[in-house]
Structure 1
Amino acid sequence: MQERTRLEKQIADVKALDQTVEDAVMLIELGEAEGDDATIAEAEKELEAVRVKAEKMQIESMLSGEADGLDAYLEVHAGAGGTEAQDWAEMLLRMYTRWAERQGYKIEWLEESAGEEAGLKSATIKISGHNAYGWLKTESGVHRLVRISPYDSQARRHTSFSSAWIYPVVDDSIDIVIEDKDLKVDTYRASGAGGQHVNRTDSAIRITHIPSGIVVQCQNDRSQHRNRATAMDMLRARLYEAELQRREEEANATEATKSDIGWGHQIRSYVLQPYQMVKDLRTGHESGNPSAVLDGDIDAFLEASLAGKVGMTRDGDAAAG
């Protein structure tokens, strides 16, 4: 039923665009016949809106992967550099939460470790909505910020690094076996936002999956049991995402076509000084308005990286064939 609903919505969206084009063309013909420039301009504006929406729908049609329709977990970690990097991590997380709000997605905070003076050492949120993982899956990697530091009394330019990691929320239909002997479970006292009760008990949970080295943690509830259940869901999601990555790497024709998402690999630079520009180092897509990007206007970057990912997969399939 979910698949049927999704397909019905896609068909309805295409029919709606088709009808809008027909109406706009009719308005243009009517405006030309009556010499009404205002009507023609209005119709041309409608056609431009159709073009933009059609391009987005074309990108969405690429989100047909096994996990693309799922919700997403988003982790942000500050790199080395103390307060500078921690402030940048908070800015990066705000960028993604603002983007999610624009999409009408639901955001749930799962874990937050505050910085010593400002910002965040790390944070994990859950973003719920159709194709949340599909849209965000190419955002995993290191993000670089260049700016005049507000924390430097000499107003010097600083470069900071933070990482974002995206993995899908696994539903119950996907069976992932996790054995207790492979887990190390730690409890600790929660920190950061969360109300007065959050610091009173050791309710926060950290789970380490020993074979893979994957670590997840949750502190959003005062109940240790509920935090453990959420952390286990996150661990299942991380293991599932790791399996998806393994399959994708096997499907690639050559190592050269793979995208390394290791800590040392920057996927995007955000430059605020001495000039203003955001540039994706994988696709070459640029924006001269970093303020808008940091306020969540990242659709063009997501679309460019998704288009590149699909192109890469097709090239790999052709080479393998």
Structure 2
Amino acid sequence: MKPVVSPSLVRLAVTGVVFASIPGMSDLAVAQSTLYETDFSSADGWTFEQSHPWGNQTFSPEWNVDALPASPAFAPFHSEPTSLNFNHNELGLEWGEWAGSARSPEIDLAESLGTPRLHFWYAYDHETFCQWDAFSVQVLDAGTEQILFQECLSATDLGLRNWVEYDLALDRSWGTVRIRFVHDTLDDWNFNEAGSYVDDLHFIDPRGASLHCEGQPLFNGAGPARLSMALIGQDPEGPVLLRGTGFPANGFAFAFAGPDPGVIPIGHGIRCIGVGTSVRVSLAPTRDLGTPVWSLDPNAGNFAQMAMLDVPIYVQTIFRDGPTINLSDALVFCP
């Protein structure tokens, strides 16, 4: 397997608390959540469609996940050992007119707390400027197949024999989408280069909540108490709903937030947010099912003080747990 940039859990032996981290990335990157990602170690979830209007059927180029051919100008992957690519697996003169597409699994943009972004790396080795070899990215409505966005990546020579980054802001109101990469030779004239390549693709929610640390089990052995977030309404800069599950029933829990992490034992739990710079957000009943909810509004109340700092914010809750005190998971996100 190739290394994927995604959250990993790191256990601190001294305290027993489990923190989430992304090696080599900043706190801002840690605060991002990933709606979907693939490093193209495999083609899992992707579907390929090939078209050969006419030409040499034996050596027709196709979309595939491999490391062929190895271009003399650049590696056939951005991260080892493979990539998504369209070619005929070897360098040399070929003739014929070909087209093909690679389509992703479904991705629900409505799960984003902010403005979701599509990010990937691409390179190509073929004719440029789209009138001869068109290498394109499309965003499709997953239900209707309507093209919501498309761009020809070979319109310039930016990615010609060179891996470059691509980043696109998406619209969460598009709902469930697929990404489709398309290569069309457009003519039958000498498709004899290394082809088109894509690697390390991510759908990122830059505002999205990620796990910062895991809570401790409850006093009765259940748990720990978990947190998640969802957007309230459609404004990607508006308030979010903080949801709790697995809390002791029929009690209360305080939500608090701050810009600094910490490791502070309290009762049966661990406070993962530093003191001195944090604020209390609000108190919520845990109800019969142990499912409290809080509204985090970046434009009002105590939480607005945190949002004004323009840095990733850590959020956690504290509650009575039997004869002692406990704390939930802590999340980090960009309000």
TM-score w.r.t. the length of structure 1 is 0.25
Structure having the larger proportion of residues in helix: 1
Larger Rg: 2
Structure having the larger proportion of residues in strand: 2
TM-score w.r.t. the length of structure 2 is 0.24
